[in-house]
Every structure is written in C-alpha cells, then in structure tokens.
A and B are shown apart, each in its own frame.
Chain A
Amino acid sequence: MAGSEGKGEIFTEPKDIVNQLAVIIRTAAIHDPGNIAVTTAIDKFITIINPLILSERELVLELGGEFFYLNEARIRYSLEYLPNFDFLVREFKKRVLGSIVFRDSLKSEDMQSFLRAFIASASSLESFEALAEKIAHVGSLGVGRLRKIRDEEKTEDSSDVRKMVKKSYFNAVSYTRGVVSKIKSGEKVNIKKAKRVVESMVDLILEEEQLLLGMTAIKDYDEYTYHHSVNVSILAVALAQRLGLSKRALTELGLVALFHDIGKIEIPIKVLNKPTSFTDDEWHMVQKHPFWGVRAILKMRGIDATVARAAIVAFEHHMYHDLSGYPKTKESFELDFYSKIISLADQYDGMTSARVYSRIPMPPDRALSIMMERAGTQLDPILFKFFINMIGVFPVGTLVMLDTRELGLVYQSDTVFLDRPKVLVIINSKGERGEGYIVDLTEKAPDEKFLRTIVKTMDPNKYRINLAEYLL
C-alpha cells in the first residue's frame, strides 16, 4: 500500500480515494459523465488510484458496516471528509453495493461507463444487479454485492471480535476499580496501564465502534461508578473519532474521561446510594466533587499536559454548555473542548443508568430526546448532532416493538440510517420467546419497502429486562 513516506512513493492516502470517488459521483449526479466537470474529477481520481493499482495489482474498495476498507485495511478519515464518506456509504447501501474492484490501469472511459451505470441503478428495483450487468463489459472495474451482516454475526470471526471487545471492556472496568481503590488507600496509580487500557479501547472504536458502544448499554448497578467511567470514556472517544481527532488525542481524551468523576470517591457511598433525595448538605457535597476531582488528579502525580486536561474536565463536566450547571465560577469561563464532549457522554450514560441522582434509569431513546431539548443550553448543539449520528435515534439497549409485532432490543446502530438499527428480536411475531435473532432494519423487500420498522419504544427497566443477558 502506498504510504506517506519514502522517496519516490506516491503521497496519497486511502481516504483521498474515497473522497475523490464521492466527488465524482456527486458531480455525475448533476452533469453527464462526459461533461468536463466530471472528466476533470475522473482524471484526478485516476492520478490518485492508478499508481496504487499498479503496486497492489488490484484494489478492492469495500464497505463493511459503516466503514470503508481498501484491500482489507480500514480507511481512517478526518472530519473534513466526513460528509463525502457518509454520502458514499449511503449511495453504496442504496444499491446494495458492497465493493468496487479496480484492476489494470483505470481509464477515463471505463470510469464514465461505471458512473452512467451507477447513476441509472439508483432508480432500478434491483439496483445492484442492474449496476453489475451494465459494467460487466468494463475490464478494469468490477462490483460486489453488499454482504449481509446478519450472516456475519454468526461466524467464528465475529464471535472472536465480540470476545475481544468484551475483554477490553472488562479490563477497563477492572483497571478503574483498581485505580479507585489505589487512590483511596493513597497508593500510586499506574498511568502506563491506563494508557494501554485506553489504547485498546481506541483500537476497538476505530475497528469495531458499534460493538464497543453496545457494551456501554450494559449497566451494572453494583459497579456503577466503574462502569460509568468506562462508558463515558468509550462514548467520548467514539464521538471524538467522528470529529477526526488523532489516535494520540483520542487516547488522551479516553484517559481524561476515565478520571472525570474521580472526585466522587470522596462522597460517602451511603450518600451516593441514597434511595431518597439529597439533603442540602448532601447536595453540597455532591456539588463539591468537581473540586475534589481536580484535587485527586493533581495529587495523583506531577502536572503534565494530560494531567492538566484531566483536572480541567473533572472540574467542568457538570458546568454545562451555558454554564448553568455547577460549580459556579467567579471569573468568566469558557468550557474546554474535551469537557464538552465528556459532558455529553456523561449525561447520556448517567441518564440511562440507575443510581444517578435521578435514581430511575431512562430508556436510551427517552434520554436522547431529553438531551435533544438540552442541546443549545446544557449541551453543545453541534457536538450533540455528532453524538446522535453516532449512537442513532434508537441507541443500543432500547426495547422496541417492530411493525412485524416482534419485540426486541436495539443491538447495533446504523450510522447512515439512524432510525434503522439492528435489533435482537427476543419475542417473535407470534408472541413466542425464542433464542433470539438479529434483524437489520435497513433491509428492504423487493418492492423497495423496508422489511421492518420500529413503531414503539418501551422501557426495558420497567420490565426488569437484563440487557447483559442479551448483549454480552
């Protein structure tokens, strides 16, 4: 693969290929593929892609889940490419197109033929077949059908990945437990370990975002503090990944998020777990935890850039976008970027978990709708848009009734069709409880109508549904 180093190599990144392909398709949707606007874009695309085809013999651009892969390597992209990436994912999915194979030396005429077929296939009932047929004669290009995730779920590989995700998640929870215990006993905290824990989460978010996000839906009441820290870290890193932050910044953010609530270790457990409302003194104590967080972090070790970041977030994570939260400050204040991200993640996980101040966990979709009302006041409205794009309209763990009279739990969000996640059906349309099966709500019938749609959402807590039983 071409990299960005070494003499004589082409300084192209895979993300440029996806981006330029999106540009061509967008342009071809307005102009005829023979138009100079399109051919100029094609020429640029050829300049980028042909040296890569030459060195790799064949290039396969494949859509897997919500990500593109080039010869099986996941393509990372930065924020400015996000609209084009999303556009291309949509266009691929619309046509059930899973991959494009580029071989030999790509010519402008071949690309024009492909574009004509691609544009025309959008209105065809069997769009993929129509596309494949029309480009069958084009030697340097081939297409593959979008693979159904449902089949993949049951493969050994996918099960291994799930195991890995689970392992990383619980490693992080275990580490967090250890940190809290060490701070309480005045022992030294090992930051090297923390970094490794977060790096592992960052890798999984880059490769298996939805699976790791799914883990955050599992709430352990007894271990709330630790799960919450890890969940906030995951949600924050996943959100920041969409904002195009570097791997190093993602690690820092994840690390900082793990420690955002560390000040709470000063609050007696009996207060935190109190089933009734707080007294004024208790509420005062709760409101002091950002200060205590700063103190705990700064006492943990000497100051460096990450420690400064962690202390800032520990102080600000309840202040809110409009500074209406706590603590109130004497001097004018502007929230840190990390604090804005972590505040979103914190609110979402807090609301959807038990044992927070509200006592009653909310169903994820309800939490989201409340957060939507808060966007612009308590929450940063733009970051919230990213957040909802990330976890979907019906986040993992939402109990849903489908129009097929199947009852299930949202299992994995779809980042393109936000209201069409994958659902683990736990009661079938006959009202029978079975082993459970996963359905993809983006699937369509031959008449182009969706096979299933969410019609109702319910509170899994009301029916004491243990999400862990289904999601782990």
Chain B
Amino acid sequence: MELLDDIKAAKEIIQALLKAKKTFRMYPETNPMYAKTIEDTNAKFRNFFDYRDELTFKIKQNEIFCDSEQIYSNPQKEDNIALFFFKDGLREITFKKGFSVKELEDFLKILTVDYDREVLDDDVVTLLWERDFQNVRYVVDEAFLTEEDDYESAAVREVKEKGSDSDELTRAYEDSFNEEAVKDAVIVPLTDKDLHIVVKEIEKDAHDKTGKLITIIFEMLYQAENKSEYEDVGHFLNSIVEFSITHGDLEAALHILRKTREVIDTQSIADDAKKNLNMVFSFLGFDATIKLLGELLDSGVEIDEKIWDEYVAFLDKNAIQPFITMLGELKSIPARKNVINALISLGRKDIQSLAKGLYDSRWYVVRNIIYILGKLGDKASVDYLLKTVNHSDIRVRKEGIKALGELGAPGVFPALRECFNDPEVQIRTAAARALGNIRSTTAKSIILQRMTDAAFVKTDFSEKKEFYEVLSKWKDNDVMEFLMKTLKKKSFFKRALNDESRACAAYCIGLIGNKDVLPLLNTVKESKNKLLREYVYSAIKRIEYGR
C-alpha cells in the first residue's frame, strides 16, 4: 500500500537524522557540510509540518513508528537509531511545528554525542532534559532505573502493613482535647536583604570547588588514624592533581603541591603521612600524569611561565623519562619548548636518566637531549655527548659538537679534532665553532694546526672563512702573527686559493679590530684579486669605523 504523504515525510526525517548523525561527527561546525546538514534536515521537518502540526515517533527496540506505520527498522546494533533512543528508555518523541533551526542543531548535537565514553555521565534523556526544548516532548520508560523488579509495590505493601490501630486513633482523638493549644506561629517573612544575601551566596557558589576539596583532603590527613587512611589521602591528592591538569588548571595542582610541601616541611605529622605526601611528588612524574600534561601543553592553552616553572620545580627525577617520551610526541613548538625547559631543570637531578634520551630512535629527540645536556653545563655530560658525534643523523652530530663546545672539558678535544676529518663540511665547521666557544689554548692550537695544514688552503672558501671567523675569538699574538703571515703570503702557484686565504685573514683581522694591522691592510687593498680587495677594504672600514 502506498504510504500517505505525511508518513513519507516522517520517514524522510528519520533518514535525514541518520545522515546528520554521521555528518555531524565528521565535520566541525565551521565546515559548510555542517550547515548544509542542518539545512537539509530542517527542510525535511518543514516538509512534514506542511501536513501536520506535530510529529510523533513511537520507539521500539529496533523500529520506529509514526501513526502505527513502521517507518524505520534495523535488526542490527550498529547505526540503529531506534536502539539508540530505546536503550536509554526513550519510548516516544514528539516534535512540534515550532521546532526551530537552533533547536534542530542542538537536537542533532545530542544525537552525535559519543555516549559510550566512560567519562560521560549523561545519556540521551539527560541531555534532552537539560536542553529543555520548547518544541520537543518525549515519553520515557523509567523501569530500568530501579534496581529491583516492582520494588514500589513491595515497598508500599510493606510500609502500609503496619496499619494504624483504631483504638489508638480514638485515644489520640480523646487525648487531643487535653493537649495544650498551639501558640500563634511566628512566621518571619523573607526580606529584600535576605534575598540579596542569598543571591550573593549563589553567585559566590559558582566558583570552582577544587580548592575546597583540597582543604578537606588535608583535614583527612590531619585526622587519619591508620596507614590505609594515609594512603587514601595520597591517592586522593593524586586524583585532584590529575583532574586539575586535565582541566588545564595548573594553579589548582600547584595549590596541592605547595600545601603538601608546606605540611611536610613545617608540621609534625606521622611518618606514614609524610611518606604518602611525598608520593604526590612522585605521582607528578608518572607516565600517565606526564601524558596528561603533554595533552594540556599541546592543546594550545596558554600556560603562564611562572606557573610552569613552579610546577616543574616540584617534579622529581622520575619525570625525566616520561618527559623524554613526551618530547617525541608533542606537536606544538611552545609545548616542546616547555618540556625542554622542564628537562633542563630536571636534568640536574639525574643526568644519567636524561642521557638515556640520547638512545631515542627519533633524531629530533636526541638533538633536544643534546641541547639540554649542553645547557646544563655539567662536565659529567661529556662522556654521553662524545658518542653523539658519531650519530647517523648529521643534525644530531652538529648539535652534539655544539654542546661539547659549550661544555669545553678537556676530554672533548680528540673528538672535535676527529671531526675535522668528517666528510661533511657542516660537521667540520661545527667542530671549529665548538672549539671557538671553548677559547682555550688547546682549542686554539687544534684550530691553528688545522689551518696551517697544507691541505687547508684547498678547502672551500666558505669553510675557510668559518675557520678564520672562529679564530677571531683569540686576539693574541699567536693568532695575529698567523694572520699577518697569511695576509702577506704570496704565491705563484694556486694564486687564487692563496688569495682566498688572504681574504679570510683580512676578514679575521677586521673582526679582531686590531688597528696596528691597518698599514699592512692598506698595502693589500689595491690587490688585483677582487675578492681579496673587497675583504681588505671591509676589514679596514670595520677597524676604522667599527663596522
């Protein structure tokens, strides 16, 4: 039998809702598909309301009916919109003609919520109830809310069982004549001031309750009587820290940490209490906690630098490893920067743990760890860093060399010297710069040794220039002598290469800014070699004018 037009329209609405349920999950609100879905679904509703003022769906487990006509059926559990409503007790849903676009959008949002997520305490009915739609009515079967079958009948029967005694009632009636009469009830009316106070209190009540809960947990600590109660306190504080981080409220987490520290340091509390309070600091470094922190950092929430630094200061060395793992997973640069800063602070507590990050499979993590070790400036890092100059990734090697240069311990020289033999120019120049950073006599000797090597003159100009630039960091006689000698050096063979070296020497003299060399420079400034001429000219200008 052909369906009536209104029933057809109702059927189309169900299909539109099914489609919308999918598209709403796929597209964000800003996507044109989102708006189109609302538009299309609304058109289906409007079509129905051309025929009727109200649309009622009767919901069975796997079917939906409209006016006794089955308009939807799906025996499968997947994508079953009837079951979706039915399982939460919804048995009938009615849309009134006034059902607005905004209401439709909100309804579709309710349809799209992932109700299987453990953390969600709401079901479809709760969300419909909270939204309080003006043009949606629904009927709910609440039988599933009770824990026992027909509890009501049994309970009512039971409480009614003890029927009142007729004689007692009569006695009550008789006694009542002897009872004292009621005094006039004093009813104190509510005043505007009362209302004002309550309004203020309600406003105040809107504030976050985490702080209050923390206070209570500490009261539980003060009054705990056994080991298990102390343990509970520790667990609860951990849970609140976790909750605070999840909600982006590091300040609340700090509240706990400051208080915990204060109680440990200043109050005479049982050893068990101290032990469990200390566990809170360990908890901060657990994988799961750091993971939450990572999610917070990556969420784009702006974290105050002071708060972050204070939080990090409470962390224990057990946070190092999870932070290293996190470093490889974070997507945003500010988040990585925060973690790097945290590791710089934490690394001091345990360089060995930090150095384990050098074995990470991700080159960028290794590079970050090298950077952190370099920043720590602890000579104990040298042994770990030395290994990195042989890393397969050039970016890591460069960072390792740089860090070694920053540390400048005696043990770094052989490795840096070895780097001069690396086939990669970037590594060779990095090693030179690292030596330049060290600025020791040994470092200078290694550089000069390299530069006086007969083969050095054949080095590419840019590399040569880098070496001379590094050399400018030493302004002593050895260096000046070497530079003047180079500048004066004339050659019949490989003249161009020799002039490159002279140009570099002039460049280096310019950087050093030694005025005594000006006469020498002036003698070279008319050189036929354009490169040499330019570099000498620049050096003179730099020395004379400081630029």
Contact between A220 and B159, CB atoms less than 8 A apart? yes
The answer for the CA separation of A419 and B146 in the assembled complex, in Å, is 37
Give chain B residues whose Cβ lies under 8 Å from the Cβ of A305.
208-209
The answer to whether B168 and A464 have CB atoms under 8 Å apart is: yes
Residues of the A chain whose Cβ atoms lie less than 8 Å from the Cβ of B204: 337
Which residue from chain B places its CB closest to the CB of A464 in the assembled complex? B168
**B132 CB contact (under 8 Å) in A247, A306, A386, A455:** A247
Most chain A Cβ neighbours within 10 Å, of B130, B171, B182, B242? B182
Task: Type the 1/0 row for A369-392, where 1 means its CB is closer than 8 Å to any CB of B.
Answer: 000000000000011011011000
**Is A79 in contact with B197, judged by CB distance below 8 angstroms?**
no
**In whole angstroms, what is the CA distance A251 to B197 when docked?**
23
Let me know if B164 is at the binding interface, CB within 8 A.
Answer: yes
Judged by a CB distance under 8 angstroms, whether B185 is at the interface is yes
Q: Select one of A175, A299, A407 contacting B145, CB under 8 A.
A: A175
Interface 9-residue window, one of A1-9, A32-40, A139-147: A1-9
Within 8 Å CB of B155, what residues of A? 170, 173-174, 220, 223
Note all chain A residues with C-beta closer than 8 A to B182.
Answer: 365, 454-457
Q: Is B146 touching A171 in the complex (CB atoms < 8 A)? A: yes
CA distance A223 to B89 in the complex (A): 27
Inter-chain CA distance A389–B195, complex, in Å, is 13
A306, B195: Cα distance in complex, Å: 26
Given contacts A197-B145, A464-B164, contact A433 B151 (CB under 8 A): no
Tell me the minimal C-beta distance from A194 to chain B in angstroms. 8
Known A1-B134, A196-B126; judge A303-B121 contact (CB<8 A). no
- Distance in Å from the Cβ of B134 to the closest Cβ of chain A? 5
Known: A433-B169, A472-B160. A192 touches B142 (CB 8 A): no
Once A and B bind, how many residue pairs between them come within 8 Å at the CB atom?
A: 233
Considering the chains assembled together, what is the distance between the CA atoms of A449 and B498 in angstroms?
A: 125
Q: Given A385-B190, A433-B170, A457-B182, is A308 in contact with B213 using a C-beta cutoff of 8 Å?
A: yes
Known contacts: A6-B100, A331-B215. The answer to whether A458 contacts B179 by CB under 8 A is yes
A433 lies within 8 A of B210 (CB): no
Q: Per a CB cutoff under 8 Å, which of B181, B185, B190 touches A456?
A: B181
Contact B243 A294 (CB under 8 A): no
Residues of chain B within 8 A (CB-CB) of A309 are 209
| A residues in contact with B192, CB < 8 Å | 83
The residues of A that contact B239 with a CB separation of less than 8 Å are: 298, 302-303
Report 12 cross-chain contacts, Cβ distance below 8 Å, ordered by A residue. A166-B156, A294-B216, A298-B236, A327-B219, A383-B198, A401-B176, A431-B170, A454-B182, A455-B182, A456-B176, A463-B169, A464-B168
* Given A309-B209, A337-B202, A196-B156 contact (CB < 8 Å): no
| A435 within 8 A of partner (CB) | no
Contacts A166-B152, A337-B201, A393-B187 known; A177 to B147 CB distance under 8 Å?
yes
Known contacts A199-B129, A308-B210, A331-B215; A465 and B156 CB within 8 A of each other? no
Question: A329 within 8 Å of B by Cβ?
Answer: yes
Residue of B nearest to A418 (CB): B187
Contact A174-B223, Cβ < 8 Å, known A337-B202, A458-B179: no
Q: Which of B176-214 contact A (CB under 8 A)?
A: 176-177, 179-182, 185, 187-190, 192, 194-195, 197-199, 201-202, 204-205, 208-210, 212-213
Please judge, given known A-B contacts A1-B134, A333-B215, whether A170 and B152 are in contact too, CB under 8 Å. Answer: yes
A336 touches B212 (CB 8 A): yes
Contact between B219 and A329, CB atoms less than 8 A apart: yes
Q: Are A294 and B220 in contact (CB under 8 A)?
A: yes
- For the A-B complex with A304-B121, A463-B169 known, give 10 more contacts whose Cβ atoms are closer than 8 Å: A6-B100, A171-B146, A174-B152, A175-B145, A195-B121, A199-B125, A311-B213, A331-B219, A465-B168, A469-B164
Checking B172, B216, B243 against A463 with a beta-carbon cut-off of 8 angstroms, the contacting residue is B172
Does B122 contact A433, Cβ atoms closer than 8 Å?
Answer: no
Contact with B along A160-175 (1 / 0, CB 8 A): 0000001110110111
Given the complex, which residues of B lie within 8 Å of A167, measured CB to CB? 142, 152
**Bound CA span A337–B175, Å:** 43
Whether A174 pairs with B222 at a CB distance below 8 angstroms is no
Closest 8 CB pairs of A and B: A178-B147, A170-B152, A174-B151, A468-B159, A463-B172, A337-B205, A401-B176, A174-B146
Please judge, given known A-B contacts A298-B236, A308-B213, whether A468 and B202 are in contact too, CB under 8 Å.
no
Q: B212 near A385 (CB under 8 angstroms)?
A: no
Q: 1/0 contact trace for B446-479 toward A, CB 8 Å?
A: 0000000000000000000000000000000000
Q: Given A196-B145, A312-B212, check contact A393 B185 (CB 8 Å).
A: yes
Cα separation A399 to B165 with both chains bound (whole Å): 15
CB of B102 within 8 Å of the partner chain = yes
Residue B240, interface by CB 8 Å = yes
Smallest CB–CB gap between B193 and chain A, Å?
Answer: 9
- Residue from B89, B173, B194, B197 within 8 A of A427 (CB atoms): B173
Q: Is B316 an interface residue (CB 8 A)?
A: no
Give chain B interface residues in 237-288, CB to chain A under 8 Å.
239-240, 242-243
- Is B185 a contact partner of A431 (Cβ separation < 8 A)? no
The interface residues of chain B lying within 8 Å CB-to-CB of A382 are: 190, 194, 197-198
Asked whether any CB of chain A lies closer than 8 Å to the CB of B162, the reply is yes
